[in-house]
Structure 1
Amino acid sequence: MAATSDQDPERMPFLRNLTTVLTGLAPARRAASAVLALVTAVAVVFAAPAPAMAQGDDFANVCASPYVSCRNGVEAGLVEGQCMTANGTGNYTQVCVRYDGDYVYVRDGQADGHAAIGEIAGGDGNIITRLCRNPFGYGTWAKCNFDWTESGTKFVTGGYFENRNQLAGQLLWQFSGN
């Protein structure tokens, strides 16, 4: 009986060498795949903005309302005005209001990936809620410039948005005539 092509003695060393080469490549390919996966994961983590920095001035659904003014603050160094700090419910967000100029300062008091929010609600006029967002992260201050009427009572809250619909915070104080 004649030898078939897979039993050909001349081809046997070639097949053994090919099997050895392929077996040797398998661990190398697994290692290369693992390195590629790690590099991709690192690139995704560092290229994506932190949740606190990921959104513009429409950081909450309520920002679409014509009665709400939402602002991302600019980084602030010197902080002025009346200040208070929220408790744990408000993630230790600190809010300061400088009445002459209608400035709101917000300090992020907890490293949790949420942006700190200062809210000024109430008063007379078309805008009844003002939200100042600190997108810069834990330990930083942000400053927002609003324009509110001096009439009516306003309420100051410090906190953060748990999601686009829910502000978790603590009422800090109220003021009027400013």
Structure 2
Amino acid sequence: MTTSSKRWVRAGLVATAAIAGVVAAAPAAGAAGADYMEICQSAKVSCQNGAKVSGPGSYDRCGTTTAAASYTQVCVEYDGDVVYVKDGSADGYSSFGKVSSTSGTAYRFCRNPHGAGTWAKCDFDWSEAADKQVYGGVKLSYTNFNDQYLFSFTNG
């Protein structure tokens, strides 16, 4: 093999390794990046960026926050472990739904990063028997958010 050929092979291997590193570093679909919110760094918290949907599918209950939490609407499908979040205000902040639980993962955040008037859907896996509380809110910054209690449920 000539010196020129060896360079082309080496360059090809370096490019392949670089592409593989980028693919390996990409987060899973719906997964929240490290810049989502500081609380998401905890092992007891699950954070997702919701998939954009036209509206809630099947759901058991919905609630809407007041102006203090930007009129965020959150709907929950109890048995499907699904959370829907509507961003109710063109304030530049992402809306989210939060489900807290008395067992397993303490908090599950479903963020709607798609803008005012849109809906997002997150699929979680929670204990059916645990008591859960639902909140709606807005992400103000990496370390700060505002949320309001909406309702509770147990589906076990």
TM (norm. structure 1) is 0.66
In structure 2, how many angstroms separate the alpha carbons of the residues matched to 1:78 and 1:166? 27
- Identify the residue that residue 130 of structure 2 maps to in structure 1: 152
Higher helix proportion:
1
Larger Rg: 1
In structure 2, how many angstroms separate the alpha carbons of the residues matched to 1:90 and 1:155? 16
| Matched residues, number | 123
| 1:166 aligned partner, one-letter code | N
Q: Percent identity?
A: 43
- Identify the residue that residue 134 of structure 1 maps to in structure 2: 112
Task: Select which of 64, 70, 78 maps to 1:85.
Answer: 64
| 1:67 aligned partner, one-letter code | K
- Identify the residue that residue 26 of structure 2 maps to in structure 1: none
In structure 2, how many angstroms separate the alpha carbons of the residues matched to 1:57 and 1:144? 15
RMSD between aligned residues: 1.5
TM (norm. structure 2) is 0.74
Q: Which runs of 5+ in 1 are unaligned?
A: 1-55
Per-residue deviation, 1:150: 1.1
| 2:45 aligned partner, one-letter code | V
Q: Which runs of 5+ in 2 are unaligned?
A: 1-31
Per-residue deviation, 1:123: 2.7
**Greater alpha carbon shift after TM alignment, 112-121 vs 157-166:** 157-166
Query: Taking structure 1 as reference, are residues 86 and 166 closer, same or farther at Cα in structure 2, changes over 3 Å only?
Result: same
Per-residue deviation, 1:78: 3.9
Spell out, residue by residue over 1:115-170, the C-alpha distance to the aligned partner (whole angstroms, 9 max, x if none).
00100012312x11000000000000000000000122111000112211222011
Query: Taking structure 1 as reference, are residues 94 and 115 closer, same or farther at Cα in structure 2, changes over 3 Å only?
Result: same
